[in-house]
Amino acid sequence: MTSYQPMVPDITVFGQTTSVFIEVLKSFSVLQKAMLEALGVDAVDPQAWYPQERILRAYQKVDLVLGSRGLERFGRQVPPLVAFPPGIDDPHTVLSGLDATYHLNHSRDGVVMLDLATGEMTEGIGHYHYERVDEREARMCCDTPYPCRFDMGLVAGFAARFVTDVEVEHEPGECRARGGANCVYRVRW
């Protein structure tokens, strides 16, 4: 089993995001309890920040119990619980904004990793790189510390908020699950 570790110390994840993961796991009460135990809490405060290291430890438990396909299903279930601002209304828009959303929900040393006023991102958690291929296809390169199969599901789930029949295929080559630096996915609908 892959060990999921933060890229740098002192990264935290916003409680609202963390509470979405807890909500997804409610049908798996054992895993929901394991995630709360990994976080060291009885309930998630949506306004608090939680150590990424503990969240990644919880992902390892999900991987152990559900396997990689379970991580992918877990990732697909997250986007339907996320609220989008106006203007995000198609797969290309949501996938192109995924990296910004990701950085807004993480902090380093207590500072949110995307400054909305300047657009500057703090490094240390990797990225969701988006490339438009054509009208019904995108390419995503993910180099985050989160599990490969979780990211596959997450990307598929975000695209599926706006279209049906979304397919995500891992391109040949590197894979974080096999020690690679990144994973590249083709997203088609």
Q: What pLDDT was estimated at residue 66?
A: 85
> Mean pLDDT over all residues of the chain?
92
Residue 134 has pLDDT above 70, yes or no: yes
Per-residue confidence at 143, pLDDT binned at 50, 70, 90? very high
For residue 75, pLDDT beyond 80 = yes
Pairing of strands 167-170, 137-142: unpaired
For the chain, list the domains and their CATH numbers.
Answer: 11-79 (no CATH), 89-188 (3.90.1520.10)
Tokens of 111: 């500072």
Task: Give me the DSSP letters along 115-128.
Answer: -TTT--B--SS--E
Between residues 63 and 186, which one has the greater pLDDT? Answer: 186
Stretch 163-180: mean pLDDT:
96
pLDDT for residue 31: 82
Please, is 36 exposed, middle or buried when counting C-beta atoms within 10 Å of its C-beta (0-12, 13-18, 19+)? middle
Residue 1 pLDDT > 70: no
Contact 159, 94 (CB under 8 A): yes
Average confidence (pLDDT) over 19-45: 86
Whether the pTM exceeds 0.85: the reply is yes
